[in-house]
Structure 1
Amino acid sequence: MSPPRTRSRLTAEERHDQLLHAALTAFTTGGYAGTTTDQVARIAGVSQPYVIRLFGSKQELFLATVKHAGARVEAHFREAAAREATLESLGEAYDDLLAERELITVLLHGFAAGADPAIGPVVRECFGRIYLAVRELTGAGEDDAREFLAMGMLLTVLGAMGIAGPHAVPPEPWMTELLGPKKR
């Protein structure tokens, strides 16, 4: 009797996730315009035609990556709200996400490419879903939700620059002033 075979092949879902994670890394580094499907394939350890077979095009891969990042933020907010449905708890949850620099940076690349007619609707929907989730989960009014997202965008930009988050550079006075005493 032969020994049981160990599973060495990934399922289609696992391979899809592997490619999304590779795309997250690649698009974080090069943005939409500066990234190729060949780079994503190399990071994932697959062939470039396989990437195209699964996603159809670089644009569709980028859109899937942005959707994945936005869904991750929304899911993290929902998990936090299940424990305590306040803006503060969602803010703490977002602070945790700042550690995932690739996640926040790919969202910024998506927002920056938002003028593209194919990318814009997707990133606007992504941002809108997060805004509506914040309102739904916390009961926050428009002004409070707007302020919450404005601070989140500031933290996203600062996190992408290495100014906020767990791996922040040593603070300069303007950084401390901008972030306030609670965020450093």
Structure 2
Amino acid sequence: MSDDEARRMSAEDRREQILAAASVVFGERGYAGGTTDAIAHEAGVSQAYVVRMFGGKENLFREAAERASRLVLEAFRTTAAGFTGDETIHDKRMALGFAYTNLMSDRGTLLTLLHLFSLGHDETFGPLGRACFLDVYRVTRDEAGMSAQEASDFFAQGMLTTVLLAMRMPDAQDDPAAMDLMTCTFGEQVTDLIRLTQMQTPLGTSAR
């Protein structure tokens, strides 16, 4: 896509296009390894166009991380809004877990969040990572109606889910131990997650 074609898109669509590309690149390379040039290549626009829109790599990573967190937040809010009040804690965990694992099948979103959390020591990104995590926790506790302990247990399961997907554990499905672990973690979704993982296309070698 040329810069002229990109400019004909709405401002919101242009930003989303580049942020989605940034999630792929930062997810594969991390913040230190990601470059505006690689992101521009992934988005199909020029590096100058990316820099004009976002002002540099630090702000681009911040917005990509905020986007990833917002996607989780919106998925949880939408799910919680559908609760009637008759759900058991198991029902709530299953519904929220389904929303989360479906979202995390987007590897760029998954890995961008993990890279953000790994930067907890950073003066710029540490506060952002903590704020994003706590925002999702508050939705789980206050809007989904979980107690603090229930939310904590749910998050523990969620982090296991995140780690297994990040390391592409479905690639080891021929190992009985891997299947046991994934079945206990993902339940009836395990087959769908294996399929989704196999469909994921990593960042091309030329763009690494």
Please indicate the TM-score interval, normalised by the length of the shorter structure.
Answer: 0.7 to 0.9
Instruction: Give the CA deviation at 1:62.
Output: 0.4
Unpaired runs of at least 5, structure 1: 1-6
Unpaired runs of at least 5, structure 2: 1-5, 85-91, 191-208
Match of 2:184 in 1: 181
What are the superposed Cα offsets for residues 70-101 of structure 1, whole Å, 9 maximum, x if unpaired? 00011111111222362321112112123212
Higher RCO structure, 1 or 2 (CA under 8 Å, sep 6+): 2
Q: Give 2:160's match in structure 1, choosing from 131, 154, 174.
A: 154
Q: Is the alpha carbon distance of 1:169 and 1:101 closer, same or farther for their aligned partners in structure 2, counting shifts above 3 Å?
A: farther
Mapping for residues 1-12 of structure 1, pairs under 5 Å? 9-12=8-11
Contact 1:22 1:40 in 2 (8 A): yes
Question: How far apart, in 2, do the equivalents of 1:78 and 1:121 lie?
Answer: 22
Instruction: Give the CA deviation at 1:17.
Output: 0.9
Match of 2:34 in 1: 35
Match of 1:53 in 2: 52
Count of equivalent residues: 175
Question: How far apart, in 2, do the equivalents of 1:133 and 1:114 lie?
Answer: 21
Instruction: Give the CA deviation at 1:15.
Output: 0.9
Q: Is the alpha carbon distance of 1:135 and 1:98 closer, same or farther for their aligned partners in structure 2, counting shifts above 3 Å?
A: same
Match of 1:94 in 2: 100
Match of 1:170 in 2: 173
Contact 2:172 2:178 in 1 (8 A): no
Match of 2:206 in 1: none
Question: 4+ residue stretches of structure 1 with deviation over 2 A?
Answer: 82-88, 171-182
Identity level (%) = 39
Question: How far apart, in 2, do the equivalents of 1:14 and 1:179 lie?
Answer: 36
1:33 alignment partner, SS class:
helix
Q: Is the alpha carbon distance of 1:73 and 1:178 closer, same or farther for their aligned partners in structure 2, counting shifts above 3 Å?
A: same
Instruction: Give the CA deviation at 1:169.
Output: 3.8
Q: Is the alpha carbon distance of 1:148 and 1:41 closer, same or farther for their aligned partners in structure 2, counting shifts above 3 Å?
A: same
Question: How far apart, in 1, do the equivalents of 2:21 and 2:182 lie?
Answer: 31
Q: Is the alpha carbon distance of 1:57 and 1:163 closer, same or farther for their aligned partners in structure 2, counting shifts above 3 Å?
A: same
What are the superposed Cα offsets for residues 142-168 of structure 1, whole Å, 9 maximum, x if unpaired? 11101101111110111011125xxx5
Contact 1:24 1:102 in 2 (8 A): yes
Does residue 126 of the first structure (1) align with residue 129 of the second (2)?
no
Q: CA RMSD in A?
A: 2.0
The letter of the residue matching 2:117 is F
2:105 alignment partner, SS class:
coil
The letter of the residue matching 1:147 is D
Question: How far apart, in 1, do the equivalents of 2:33 and 2:54 lie?
Answer: 18
